[in-house]
Amino acid sequence: MPTPITPLKIDKENRQITLAYFDQKSTVDYIGAVQGIPVCFDAKECATDTFSLQNIHPHQIAFMEDFERQRGIAFFLIYYTGRDTLYYLPLDHLRVFWERARAGGRKSFRYEELSEEFVLPKKQGILIPYLDMIQKDLDRRA
């Protein structure tokens, strides 16, 4: 769902947008379909082994939960720069950390708390090979 852009200034002579900014927070980085399956994800980056939940916003969680209730797949892609590792974090795995924080626990999670099965393998010629992880995510839901 696109976010409204306000104000919008257009150079009428050159027919170009000269100023625009987002009026509201966006939802996620990608919304689409992969082989007919509705998919949404947000990409994050982390320089250390501790990922702060402040990097994820409540409106994103709400949007992703609604998306999954409509039979979509929602997840986060987290790039751990210090490890040069890309991680596929299913929404239900994130919810564990999210609920822990809401209950007064840690407001972050450590790399060691993540399941190794969702580390994205490096593949020649594929920048972010998340399609295999979507299949793995689907298989475990079945």
What are the residues whose beta carbons fall under 8 Å from the beta carbon of 29, sequence distance 6 or more? 41, 42, 43
Instruction: Give the whole-number percent of the chain exceeding pLDDT 90.
Output: 70
Closest CA to 68 of 138, 130, 7, 139: 138
97 found inside a domain? yes
Q: What is the pLDDT of residue 124?
A: 72
Q: What is the pLDDT of residue 123?
A: 75
99 found inside a domain? yes
5 found inside a domain? no
Tokens of 101: 């924080």
Sequence-distant contacts of 99-105: CB under 8 A, at least 24 apart: 101/53
What is the domain count for the chain? 1
88 found inside a domain? yes
pLDDT digits (tens, 9 = 90+) for 106-135: 999 999 999 999 999 887 766 777 888 999
Mean pLDDT of the chain: 86
104 found inside a domain? yes
Q: Is the pLDDT of residue 17 over 80?
A: no
3-state percent breakdown (helix, strand, coil) of the chain, nearest 5? 30, 35, 30
pLDDT digits (tens, 9 = 90+) for 72-106: 999 999 999 999 999 999 999 999 999 999 999 99
13 found inside a domain? no
CATH number, domain containing residue 83: 3.40.1350.10
Residue 86 CB neighbours (<10 A): 21
When mean pLDDT is compared across 7-11, 12-16, 87-91, 104-108, the lowest value belongs to 7-11
7 found inside a domain? no
Residue 95: give the domain boundaries: 27-141
